[in-house]
Amino acid sequence: MQEGRALADRQINRDLLHTIFTHPKWQWGLIAFFGIIVLGAMCAAGYMFNRGLGVSGLNRPVMWGFFITNFVFWIGISHAGVMLSAILRLSKAEWRRPATRAAEVLTVFSLMTAMLMPLIHAGRPWRVFYWVFPFDWARGVYPNVRSALIWDPSAVFTYLTSSTLFVYIALLPDLAVIRDRSTGIRRQIYSVLALGWRGNPRQWKLQIIAGVLLSALILPVFVSVHSIVSFDFSMAIAVKSWHSTIFPPYFVIGAVHSGVAAVVIVMAVMRWLYGWQEYIRPEHFDALGRLLVVVATGWFFFFVLEFFFGLYSLEADEIAVKDFLSAQAPWSWWFITFVGTTYFIPVGMWLFKGVRRNPGLMIIACISVNIGMWLERFLIIVPGLAQKQVMNFTYFTYAPSVVEVVIVIGTFALVCMLMLLFAKVFPLIPLYDIKEGEIARDEIQIGRRKVPAVLREE
C-alpha cells in the first residue's frame, strides 16, 4: 500500500505556507530565546577579542581546541544538504522530496556558522581579510597557496556560493506562489525575489537544467570541502596521529554521517513544530535510517582503519597517542562515549524498523550521532596535540574555558535561530517538489496486490 494519501495542490499550498502567513506567538518566543543565547555568545566573543585568546583554555602544545572542533563539526553538518539534494536528485530517489529544502538550508547556515569559527579563533581576527580572501589586500603579497588554510576558505566560499544558488533556484517556483498570495510590500519583495517566475515551460526547463547542473557541479565541491578540512590535519607531519592518508575520505563520510543525522533531527522537529505529518511520513524516516546504517558502517570501517594504523606503525609517538586516547582516563571515557554514540547505539537502534519509523526515537539516535561526531573531531584534534611527540617537552592537556563553551553553544543557537527565521519567510518543504511527487505517484496492480510505483520521464 502507498503510504500517505493523495494531496491536492490547493491543500499543499495551504499546509506548507501557513508558517509564512500566520504568526503564532511561540515562533517569536523561540526565535527570541535562541537570539538571547546568540547575543551571549557574541558578548563572549567580544570579550575574547578585547582581552586576547588568553581567555580561552588553549595553551602551548594544544594550540587548537574547541573552536576548530566546532568548525569541523559544522562543516560536517553542512554536507547533508548536498548529500541529500544532489545525490538523491541525480539518483531519482523519491523519498528525498520533503527533505531537500531543509537539508540545503541547513547546509547554508551551518557553513556560515562554521566559517565564523576559524575567524574568531585567529589571534588577530580583525586582520583576517588577507588570509580569507585570495587577494593582495596588504603589501602586495598574495596569500600562500601552499597552505591548507588558504584552500579552506576558498573551498568553503565556493561551497557556500554554490549551495546558496542551489537553494535559490529550487526556491524560485515557491517564491512565485507566495508572491501571488501576499499583498503590499511583501508582494513587492517576493516579486523581486521570484525573478518574474510565471511557470511557463521554458522557465521550468531552465530551472530543471540549472538544478541538475548544479547538483552535478556541486558534488566535487562537496567532496573537496571536507577533504580540504581534513588536509588541515593530515598535511601536518609534526602531529603524528594527524598524518594519515585516510583522513580525506574518513572526514567526508563522517560529515555525511553527522549531516544526514542532523537533517533527520530538523525534519522531525519541523514535522512536530509545523504539523507536517502528511508530508514527512514514517517512510521518509525509514529510508533515511537505512541510508544512515550504510553510511555509519562505512564510517566505522574507516575509523577502524585509522585507529589501527596508528598501532600498525610500531612508532612510539603514534602508539603513545592512541594509548593516551583510548586507555588513559579521562580521555578513555570520552573515547568510549564517542564510539558508542557514533556507531553502536544509533546503528543498534536503526536495525529495528520500528525505531526507523518513529520520529521521536530517530531524534534520539541522531542526537547521539551528533554528540559522537562532535567528540570524534575533538578526539582527533586535541589528544594528537597534547601528546605530540619527542621534542614536546611540556606535555599538557586541555580544558575549555567558559568563553569557549559559551561560543560553541552560541553556534548551535545561531543555526536554530536562522532556521526558524528562514521558515518564517520561505517554505521549508519545497511545494513544487511535493506536487511533482504527487504527479509521479502511481501504483501497479499485480494479482491482488498493489505495489507503489513512480512515473518516470526518461
Partner 1 sequence: MAQRKPHKWGMIVDIDKCTGCQACVVACQAENNVQLNTEDRFHERRPIEWIHIQRYWEVPEEYRSRPEDAPFQDIKARFLPVLCQHCENAPCEPVCPVYATYHNDQGLNVQVYNRCVGTRYCANNCPYQVRFFNYWEPVWPDRMRNQLNPDVTVRSRGIMEKCSFCIQRLRRGERQVEAAEGGELNDRALAEGNFAPACVQACPTGSLIFGDYTDPDGQLSQYVAVDEDTNEKVLKDDRAYQLLKNIGTEPNVIYLKKIDPRRTGEGGHG
Partner 2 sequence: MARHPHEAAERTGPPEVHLSDREVMQDLAEKYDAACPKFWLAVAVAGGLFALGVLAFVIRALDVGLSDSSRNEYGYYAAAFAFLIVTATTAPLAAIAFRWTKNHWRRPFSRAAELFSLVGILAVLAFIPMLIVLPGIDLNGDGVLELGKDRRTIWFSAPIGAPIWWDMAGLIGVVVCGLALLWVSARPDMAQIAQVSNGLRARVMGRLACGWQGTVRDWNVQKGQMAILGAFYFMLLVWVHTLISLDFALSLIPGWRDSIFAAHHVLTGIQASAGLLIVVLFLMKKVGGYDRYIGVDPFWSFAKVLLGVTLLWGYFWFSEFMTFWYGRDETEQTVIKLLMVESYRTAFLLNLFFSFFIPFVLLLWNGVRKSVLGPTVAGASVIIGAFFMMVRLYVPAFNIKDVGAESIAEFEAAHGGTAAQLLPVLPGPLDVLMVVGMMAGAAFIFLLGTRLIPIMSAWEMKEGLMYVLYRPFMKGKYLVLGKPE
Minimum Å gap between C-beta 295 and partner 1 is 29
Choose, by CB under 8 A, the member of 11, 24, 39, 127 that binds partner 1. 127
- 442's enclosing H/E stretch is strand 441-446
Binding footprint of partner 2, residue count (CB under 8 A): 43
How far is residue 214's CA from residue 169's CA, in Å, rounded to a whole number? 9
206 touches 198 (CB < 8 A): no
Chain CA centroid to CA 53, Å: 27
305, interface contact from partner 2, partner 1, none, CB < 5-8 Å by kind: partner 2
- Asked whether position 238 contacts partner 1 by CB under 8 A, the answer is yes
Cβ atoms of 269 and 391 within 8 Å: the answer is no
Q: Least distance in Å: CB of 97 to partner 2?
A: 14
Find the binder of partner 1 among 76, 81, 98, 118 (CB under 8 A).
Answer: 118
Q: Which residue type is seen at 445?
A: Q
Task: Tell me if 251 contacts partner 1 by CB under 8 A.
Answer: no
The correct pick among 139, 202, 448, 449 for binding partner 1 (CB under 8 A) is 139
Q: Is 388 in the site for partner 1 (CB under 8 A)?
A: yes
**Binding partner selected for residue 215 from partner 2, partner 1, none, CB under the kind-specific 5 to 8 Å limit:** none
Residue 148's nearest CA partner among 88, 202, 229, 223 is 229
Calculate the dihedral angle through the C-alpha atoms of 411, 416, 418, 422, rounding to the nearest 10 degrees.
Answer: 160
Q: Contact 137/149 with Cβ under 8 angstroms?
A: no
Neighbours of 149 (CB within 10 A): 16
Residues 6-35 as x/- pattern, contact with partner 2 by CB under 8 A? x-----------------------------
Find the binding residues for partner 1 in span 65-104 (CB under 8 A): none
Q: Which does 139 bind (CB under 5 to 8 A by kind): partner 2, partner 1, none?
A: partner 1
b (16+ CB within 10 A) / e for 240-277: bbbebebbbbbbbbbbbbbbbbbbbbbbbebbeebebe
- From candidates 189, 236, 293, 440, binder to partner 1 by CB under 8 A: 236
Q: State yes or no: residue 309 binds partner 2 (CB under 8 A).
A: yes
Q: For the CB of residue 313, give the shortest distance to partner 1 in the complex, in Å.
A: 13
Q: Taking contact as CB under 8 A, which single stretch among the options 274-282, 297-305, 325-333, 341-349 is the one that binds partner 2?
A: 297-305
Cβ 193 to partner 2 shortest distance, Å: 30
Residue 143: CB minimum distance to partner 2, A: 17
Given the C-alpha cell 585570495, which residue does it identify?
A: 134
Question: Which range of residues in 39-47, 83-91, 219-227, 386-394 is near partner 1 by CB under 8 A?
Answer: 386-394
- Give min distance, CB of 458 to partner 2, in A: 6
**Binding string, 147-176, against partner 1, x = CB under 8 A?**
xxxx--------------------------
DSSP secondary structure string for all residues of 366-405: HHHHHHHHHHHHHHHHHHHHHT--TT--S-------HHHH
Q: Which residue, 424 or 441, is less far from partner 2 as judged by CB?
A: 441
CB 64, min distance to partner 1, A: 7
CA distances from 99 to 301, 343, 429 (A): 27, 23, 7
CA distances from 116 to 121, 185, 411 (A): 9, 33, 9
Which one, of 179, 256, 170, 225, lies nearest residue 432 by Cα?
Answer: 170
Q: Residue 166 binds what, of partner 2, partner 1, none (CB under 5 to 8 Å, by partner type)?
A: none
Q: Does 222 bind partner 2 (CB under 8 A)?
A: no
Residues 6+ apart with CB under 8 A from 434: 7, 12, 16, 97, 98, 279
Regarding 237 and contact with partner 1 (CB under 8 A), the answer is yes
Residue 246 in the binding site for partner 2 (CB under 8 A)? yes
Judge contact between 16 and 9, C-beta under 8 A.
no
Q: Does the N-terminal peptide bond of residue 118 adopt cis geometry, omega within 30 degrees of 0?
A: no
User: Which residues sit at the interface with partner 1, rule CB under 8 A?
Assistant: 51-54, 56, 58-61, 63-64, 118, 121-125, 127-128, 130-131, 138-139, 141, 143-144, 146-150, 232, 235-239, 385, 388-394, 396
